[in-house]
Amino acid sequence: MSVIGYCRVSTNDQTITNQQQQIAESGYQVTKWFTDNAVSGAVKASERQGFSDMLNYVREGDTLVCVAIDRLGRNTIDVLQTVELLQSKGVKVISLREGFDLSTPVGKAMLTMMAGLASLEKDLIAERRAAGIKRAKSEGVHCGRPRKATSEQVTQMINAGMSPREIMSQLQISKASFYRLKQGS
């Protein structure tokens, strides 16, 4: 019966030290740490090296502690499957931020609701982003990758007697972009 700590950070700019400190300050005497550095929560838990190693290590009666359920994943289904897999192995899952034991019936219900709310929030953000892009486009704002060249530039260069190769080189565009812009004029 060991206490296992799991920490994950999404970028190289972040460190797992704060998460390890939070777990230790909460009174857990961690026997073994498993970590994933610079791994997005969008990557399925089972596909992360540190998490996979932890799954192979844990035994019935162990307790897994993490600072928040979003360290396990951001996708509702993945988080629920991950917790169910751990529970099927007889592992108790504790999330500090949410303040509940995910292996109890109340903890599972809370996990389901919180994961659902996190998924809803992600969808709402995407909806607001799409509305913002639509509004910006209606106002004539270019969205997306910056344009390297316009059809007007290509037409002017052709009229100035430049060859397609010279135009592509000067504007730093591909052959496909050149012909697409040429047709747009």
Give yes or no for a contact between 140 and 171, defined as CB atoms under 8 angstroms apart. Answer: no
Compute the distance between CA of residue 116 and CA of residue 166 in angstroms, rounded to an integer.
Answer: 55
| Residue 10: active-site member | yes
- Token readout for 157 is 């260069």
Residues 6+ apart with CB under 8 A from 182: 151, 154, 155, 158
For helices 76-88 and 105-138, the axis angle rounded to 10 degrees is 160
Identified catalytic residue from 2, 10, 119, 177: 10
Residues recognised as catalytic: 10
